Structure 1
Amino acid sequence: MALTSRIPPYDSRWPSLFLGAKEQIAKAFGTEPVTIHHVGSTAVPGLAAKPEIDLLVEVSEHRHESSRDDVMRELGYARGSNLSAGHHFYRRDVDGIRTHKVHVCIAGHGQIERMLRFRDRLRSDPVMRQQYQDLKLELEATNTGGIGEYLAQKAPFIDALLFS
């Protein structure tokens, strides 16, 4: 089973797509103070990526989950399994293709620092960015096990970059 999305070259429309999604998603949190970050590969200028906009929403606590889920559903997002304690996940697919992923984490959750640090390292280091792109394209070309295999094979590179 190959990946469901191809990895095209960087698309300069991705930041605008993030801003549009950010504006919509902010409505799901009402008056709750939140910070919404663009993370993942589409947040790194010049990096080839699956065309899936990743958003990281920082909240002080998970409140009004049921009403949040309703608003997210109205916006076309499905609630996925919690990825860990304090880390909720939503996904949006259009015609069977993933277009957006939303991570909602309580402030201070380890994934927040991890996602932002990884994004920022790739933004600031063109050599690492190119190495990561080369790895992603190689994994796409050789993938037979789907997204789980792809993510598992990227993990050692990500860990090495974060802890170097």
Structure 2
Amino acid sequence: MKLTSKISHYDSRWPALFLTEKERIAKGLGTELVGIYHIGSTAVPGLAAKPEIDLLIEVSEHRNEPTRDSFMSALGYIRGSDLSAGHHFYRRDIDGVRTHKVHVCVSGHWQIERMLRFRNLLRNDPAIRQQYQDLKFELEASNRGGIAEYLAKKAPFIDALMGSRPSSAK
């Protein structure tokens, strides 16, 4: 098994790719849209990453999901399993390579604050950013179980920095 894509050194085009996708997606979200944020490693200048643009979409509520799913499908996205109650997930692959991941969370969802806080910590702390990058390359080199294994082995590092998930969250 392999990761969804190979980790590469930071690419200064990633912020522009985010902005392009943000504009495409925002057109179809209507009045439920609160904000669209660049998250994940591609949002951290200088950090190596799988070249997959991560977007966090905050919505006031999950309204008319079939319409949203159709709109996202027209943009090339496939809806994955919900990651938790109120946290929907979409992915886009081009020619079998993952290019984008979209998290759609209702305002107040615990993951919004956590994802933004982790991104900001990596942006603002060079030592933690370097530790995280070293871990990612190490996990990629030793990976035998694919993306699930990679994510599971990154989780303790992230949890140690961020605290574990609130017990009230599903």
User: TM-score, normalising length from structure 2?
Assistant: 0.94
The residue type paired with residue 151 of structure 2 is L
- Give structure 2 stretches of 5+ with no counterpart: 164-170
- Give CA deviations for 1:6-32 in whole Å, capped at 9, x if unaligned: 101000000000000000011220233
Equivalent residue number for residue 80 of structure 1 = 80
For 2:155 and 2:11, how far apart are their aligned partners in 1? 24
Q: 2: distance between equivalents of 1:61 and 1:31?
A: 10
Q: 1:20 maps to which residue?
A: 20
C-alpha distance 160-24 of structure 1, shift in aligned 2 (>3 A): same
Alignment of structure 1 residues 23-102 onto 2, 5 Å = 23-102=23-102
Match of 1:104 in 2: 104
Greater CA drift, 27-36 or 64-73: 27-36
Q: Identity, % of aligned pairs?
A: 75
Question: Counterpart amino acid of 1:162?
Answer: M
Q: Distance in 2 between matches of 1:148 and 1:27?
A: 32
Q: Which runs of 4+ in 1 moved over 4 A?
A: none
TM-superposed deviation, 1:162: 1.2
**5+ residue gaps, structure 1:** none
- What TM-score comes out, normalization by structure 1 length? 0.97
**Alignment map for 1:106-125 (pairs within 5 Å):** 106-125=106-125
Aligned length in residues: 164
